[in-house]
Amino acid sequence: MEAFSSESAVPLFAIPFATSIVTVLGSPKAEPARPRALIGGHLVSTIVGLLVVKLCGPVPWAAAVAVGLAMVAMHLTGTFHPPAGIDPLVVVVNNMSWIFLIVPVGIAALLLTTFAFAWNNLVTRCADEGDAGPPIRWW
């Protein structure tokens, strides 16, 4: 995340993945920890935020509308990932450009999914002798 922050000139505080890390590593069997929810939730929420900021501008009420619409969009697409609810807020408040969807959001979501897969299959499974495992449904 730090590398993406430096490369994209996006402040590290604006990269919304801290609670996603807690979700996918701490509760790997929960629905919001599935890769579909993790990746899709962040992408859907960011797209909603980008559409709202481009239509309404970086105003506080638009940020609130974007978060609400992102929540609905995640439910409709089956990608509900509560930590991704911060994405549209970050996008609108900071008036982010479309590149924010790719770097850092898209790439970071893919990297976190890969790391969570490795963590849950190597580290956790070895420690618990198979009790933890990956989420029940990955997609």
Burial group, residue 125, by CB count within 10 angstroms (0-12, 13-18, 19+): middle
For residues 52 and 22, is the Cβ–Cβ distance under 8 A?
no
- Which residue do the tokens 């976190």 mark? 112
Give residue 134's Cα distance to chain centre.
Answer: 18
Q: What is the per-residue pLDDT across 59-107, written as a single tens digit (0 to 9) for each?
A: 999 999 999 999 999 999 999 999 999 999 999 999 999 999 998 899 8
Indicate the pTM of the whole model. Answer: 0.85
Q: What is the per-residue pLDDT across 21-58, written as a single tens digit (0 to 9) for each?
A: 999 998 888 999 999 999 999 999 999 999 999 999 99
The CB density around residue 82, as the number of other CB atoms within 10 Å, is 15
Question: At how many degrees (to 10) do helices 60-77 and 35-56 cross?
Answer: 140
